[in-house]
Amino acid sequence: MANKIVEDPRIDPRIKELFKDMPPSAGARVESREVLLAAMQAMAGSSAFGALFESLDLEGIAPSDGLTITRHELTSSPDGNTISVNVIRPDGNEALPCVYYIHGGGMMIMSAYDPHYVAWGRLIAQQGVAVAMVEFRNSALANTLGEVAPYPGGLNDCVSGLRWVLDNAGKLGIDPDRVVVAGESGGGNLTLATGLAMKQAGEANRVRGLYALCPYIKGQWSDEDGGSVTGNRGILLDLHVDNGAVAYGIESFNAGDFLAWPAFASEDDLKGLPKVKISVNECDPLRDEGVDIYRRLIRAGVAAQCLEAMGTVHGTETFLCCPNISRDCARDIAGFARDY
């Protein structure tokens, strides 16, 4: 099967170069979470994505000079499990705006400590803000926490980490009145879900805004969706064989739980959220669901914006293969936290 990234004339040549040796999307939908976890465990450590991302800790693009990085462990609620937050901030004692960042991976895989995420955090921090990257429990493959949990485990960890950052803002050198939540893909899901969970708890005013990049929020897809789902099929992702709902917990999908899959959120559910920015990638199967929730946010009276990065694939900004695109996005996220 041809490499669709390499063949597509819309896509930036630098992205084509990065993914030229990437095998095409493959696989099939599975019946149960147990079958999926066994299959993913069997392939752990052999992923082509893992090897590729190991090469993306780019000091020249995202330098560590002038930054302080500290790792903090804390107890998540209500399960009492241990999670961690990696805080990256410019040197000094000034109380800075903060980007609370949630990594991608479909809520299933990856880690805040993966090299390309640490580099992405450095790039955002170099724009003059603190970055707090949460390590939450994945739903399929364990990260540095050593355990997995279906929904609502990962969301509970993200909310717990956010509250910890807000409660400890003084010690961390963070301005508690300028904390935004951001994340891409599965992290975009958890960004919106964290905002919705804080709203349900009466704490929406503790968060300045939500910045969701290429949010993965629908749960299941088919040819009937049309649009970007079929038009961008197989460009990095093939949603027709996606098993995210099975891994995260099919019960929550079948129940239409908008905290698990924010695409289920009604306008009434969205009312009262802080400002939101949605960023989508032109050549991403997920593009249209990001645009759709933006339109619902606007109808709900939320101060929302949406932007589209032309010539890019899913999550391009975090890969750093197009430095100008990544820097522009990092500046925009930092400006969103500063409330420009």
Q: Is 116 exposed, middle or buried (0-12, 13-18, 19+ CB in 10 A)?
A: buried
Q: What is the per-residue pLDDT for 54?
A: 63
- Reported as a pLDDT band with limits 50, 70 and 90, residue 30 is confident
Average pLDDT of the residues in 64-82 = 98
The SS3 of residue 22 is coil
Domain residue ranges of the chain, discontinuous segments joined by +: 4-125+139-281+296-338
Among the ranges given (39-53, 67-81, 165-179), the one the predictor scored with the smallest mean pLDDT:
39-53
Domain 4-125+139-281+296-338 CATH (choose: 3.40.50.1820, 3.40.50.720, 3.30.70.141, 1.10.3190.10): 3.40.50.1820
Decide: 215 and 189 in contact? Cβ < 8 Å: yes
pLDDT digits (tens, 9 = 90+) for 272-295: 999 999 999 999 999 999 999 999
Q: Is 222 exposed, middle or buried (0-12, 13-18, 19+ CB in 10 A)?
A: exposed
- Tell me the chain's radius of gyration from C-alpha atoms: 18
> pTM of this prediction?
0.95
DSSP string of 161-189, one letter each residue: HHHHHHHTHHHHTEEEEEEEEEEETHHHH
Which of 250, 164, 155 lies closest to 197 in space, CA to CA? 155
The pair phi, psi for residue 71, each rounded to 5°, is -110, 135
Q: What is the crossing angle of helices 244-254 and 33-43, to 10°? A: 160
Q: What is the per-residue pLDDT for 33?
A: 84
Q: What is the per-residue pLDDT for 340?
A: 66
Q: Which residues pair with 135 in a beta bridge?
A: 84
pLDDT digits (tens, 9 = 90+) for 212-253: 999 999 999 999 999 999 999 999 999 988 888 999 999 999
Does an H or E element contain 209, and which? strand 209-213
Is the predicted pLDDT of residue 45 greater than 60, yes or no?
A: no
Q: What is the per-residue pLDDT for 31?
A: 75
Decide: 182 and 212 in contact? Cβ < 8 Å: yes
Other beta carbons within 10 Å of 339: 12
In which order are the strands placed within the sheet that holds 130-135? 67-75, 82-90, 130-135, 96-102, 174-184, 209-213, 275-281, 304-309
What's the rounded Cα separation, in Å, for the pair 73 and 86?
9
Does an H or E element contain 277, and which? strand 275-281
What's the rounded Cα separation, in Å, for the pair 147 and 157?
12
Q: What is the per-residue pLDDT for 26?
A: 59
Q: What is the per-residue pLDDT for 2?
A: 67
Q: What is the per-residue pLDDT for 286?
A: 98
What's the rounded Cα separation, in Å, for the pair 135 and 50?
17
What's the rounded Cα separation, in Å, for the pair 24 and 3?
6
Is the predicted pLDDT of residue 27 greater than 90, yes or no?
A: no
What's the rounded Cα separation, in Å, for the pair 276 and 293?
10
Indicate the average pLDDT of the chain: 93
